[in-house]
Every structure is written in C-alpha cells, then in structure tokens.
C-alpha cells in the first residue's frame, strides 16, 4: 500500500497511510502540481520559480520557492521524503517513496485500455475502465492559475471524457443499455454538444423501451446545438430520430391492432 496518497482531481489532499491529512498550503499545491504534470523529468529551481511566481521579481520568486520547498519537506515528519533534490540543483517528486496520485493513476489505467477497440474489450477490461474513470472527481488543481495548470487540466479532462466514451461504446457493443444510459448521461452532462453521445443515449432509451425519452433526447440535442452553435443536428442524428419515430409509430399501430383484435374476440358469442 502507498504510504502517501495524493488527490489533485477535485478536492486536493495528501494523506498518510497510517491515518491523517497533511496540511499543504496553496503555494505548495502549485509546486506539487507542476512536478506531477512534468513528472517525466527533473525540474530546475529556476524554471520552478519563474513559472510559479512569474508575477514577482527573480529574487522574490526564489525566496517563495525556497519557502514552499521548506514547507513541503517539513510536511512529512517521518519516512521517505516527498521531494528529491538532485545534485544538479533540480527537483522532482520522490517516486521511489511509495506515493499514489489520482491523476497519475487515471492516466495509467485509461491509456492502455483506450488503445483497445471498444467492441474488443472484455468484461474485465470494462470493469477496469469503469474504475479508472471513477478516479476523476473534478478538475485538476481547479484553484491554481497559470497556463501550465490550464493545459494539464484540459488534458486530463479530455482523457476522462475519452475514457467515458470508450466505456459507453463497450457497454453498447455488449448490449448493456442500462449502463449506456448511466455513463452516457454523465458524459452528456460534461460535453452536451457531442452528437455521438446523444445518439448513443437515443439508442439506449429505445432499446430499454422508452421511445418517448429517445425523442426527448433528440429534442435536447437539437436545442443545445441551435442555442450554442446555431446549427442543426447532423444528418446521421436526424436519420436515427426518423427511424425511432417510425419504429414508435409501427409499435403503436401494432398495439392498437392487437387491442382491437382482443375486443373482437371478447365480443364473440
């Protein structure tokens, strides 16, 4: 088990396996977030100070960095340190110190599964994919400003949405329409302009016997595209809507015909 668990998606926190949360100041979260976002290399103190305290002069920025580094060193009172200071003067997180980070776990879990076609995912794969997308509990360091933070925030959100859509497609391929509705509604909330999600929801409602909701989903798609982009749905979406309406009309006609036959049979002597 990881000794330190760090959450940077949604509510930020660092907890120790033995129990208890560590107090991390705002300036330290920016430093931690930058090291996580650039975890594949060691970062120079100059880059850290100039990026994270760009609004200060160089001397003040270096002082702010030193204070943040000192606070992070003191935040972990025992066990392996949170940071590693290299001889070149560069800094990195201590990846050998048994640390778990939700954003890193999200990436490690989703990326291999996204390389597999959705219809080729096994039930076990779908379960891992589902556990992976559940790690995303909100935006990456939402209270931290800076272009680097915005880029990482958007990258992880895109990864989450890609994982969600892949999961929805996998459930659709397995005809697990209840799961398509569950996860599809989540992605529809995140990205309401995506017609491919609207179409999957329309199909899922139709397959679960709720054609009225399928039609309502099309109307929702039509409305949001018109209000946000001033465009109509794609021909593919319109054609699906037409097919659903025709299917609904045939179903009503069959039900009416069956009920009329039942009445005739009841009236026969």
Query: Has residue 251 got a pLDDT over 80?
Result: no
Identify the band that residue 191 occupies on the pLDDT scale cut at 50, 70 and 90. Answer: very high
pLDDT tens per residue across span 195-239:
999 999 999 999 999 988 999 999 999 999 999 999 999 999 999
Check whether 8 has a pLDDT greater than 70.
yes
- Given a cut of 70, whether residue 19 has pLDDT beyond it is no
Mean pLDDT of the residues in the chain: 88
| pLDDT score at 266 | 41
Q: Is residue 31 within 8 Å of residue 72, measured between CB atoms?
A: yes
Tell me the sheet residues that pair with 21: 15
Tens-place pLDDT, residues 68-87: 998 888 877 666 778 889 88
CA-CA-CA-CA torsion sign (75, 77, 81, 85): positive
The CA angle 173-174-176, to the nearest 5 degrees, is 110
- Residue-level pLDDT at 95: 86
Q: What is the pLDDT of residue 21?
A: 80
Cα separations in angstroms, 67 against 63, 70, 145, 254: 6, 5, 19, 76
Which residue has better confidence, 16 or 211? 211
Residue 71, strand partner residues:
none
Q: How far apart are CA 241 and CA 225, in angstroms?
A: 15
Cα–Cα distance measured from residue 193 to residue 158, given in angstroms and rounded to the nearest whole number: 14
pLDDT at 18 over 70: no
Residue 257 confidence class, pLDDT cut points 50, 70, 90? very low
Cα 168 to Cα 152, 157, 179: the distances in Å are 24, 16, 7
Residue 45 has pLDDT above 80, yes or no: yes
| Phi then psi dihedrals of residue 133, to 5 deg | -65, -25
Q: Where are the domains of the chain?
A: 4-100, 192-269
Fold of the CATH domain 4-100: Arc Repressor Mutant, subunit A (1.10.10)
Mean pLDDT score, 182-198: 96
Question: According to the model, what pLDDT value does residue 216 have?
Answer: 94
Give the pLDDT band (50/70/90) at residue 51.
very high
pLDDT for res 234: 96
pLDDT, one tens digit per residue, over 86-127 is: 888 899 998 887 889 999 999 999 999 999 999 999 999 999
- CATH no. for 192-269: 1.25.40.10
Q: Check if the beta carbon of residue 193 is closer than 8 Å to that of residue 227.
A: no
Instruction: Identify which has the larger pLDDT, 79 or 134.
Output: 134
More confident: 164 or 96: 164
161 or 246, which is more confident?
161
Percent of the chain clearing pLDDT 70 (strictly above):
89
In the structure encoding, which two tokens stand for residue 31, read together?
């430093």
pLDDT confidence of residue 124:
95
């Amino acid at each position: 088990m990881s000794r330190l668990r760090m959450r940077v998606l949604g509510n930020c926190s660092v907890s120790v396996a033995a129990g208890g949360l560590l107090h991390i100041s705002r300036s330290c979260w920016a430093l931690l977030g930058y090291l996580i976002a650039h975890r594949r290399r060691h970062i120079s103190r100059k880059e850290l100070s100039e990026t994270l305290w760009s609004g200060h002069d160089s001397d003040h920025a270096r002082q702010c960095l030193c204070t943040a580094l000192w606070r992070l060193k003191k935040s972990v009172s025992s066990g392996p340190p949170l940071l590693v200071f290299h001889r070149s003067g560069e800094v990195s997180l201590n990846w050998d110190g048994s640390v778990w980070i939700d954003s890193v776990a999200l990436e490690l879990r989703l990326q291999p599964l996204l390389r597999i076609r959705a219809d080729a995912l096994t039930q076990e794969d779908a379960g891992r994919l589902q556990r992976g997308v559940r790690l995303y509990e909100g935006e990456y360091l939402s209270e931290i400003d800076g272009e680097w933070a915005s880029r990482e925030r958007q990258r992880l959100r895109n990864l989450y949405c890609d994982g969600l859509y892949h999961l929805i497609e996998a459930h659709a391929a397995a005809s697990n329409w209840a799961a398509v509705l569950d996860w599809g509604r989540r992605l529809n909330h995140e990205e309401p302009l995506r017609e491919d999600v609207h179409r999957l929801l329309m199909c899922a409602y139709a397959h679960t016997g709720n054609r009225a909701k399928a039609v309502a989903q099309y109307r929702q798609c039509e409305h949001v595209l018109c209000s946000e982009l001033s465009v109509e749905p794609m021909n593919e979406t319109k054609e699906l809507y037409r097919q659903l309406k025709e299917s609904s009309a045939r179903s009503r006609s069959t039900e009416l015909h069956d009920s009329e036959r039942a009445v005739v049979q009841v009236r026969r002597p």
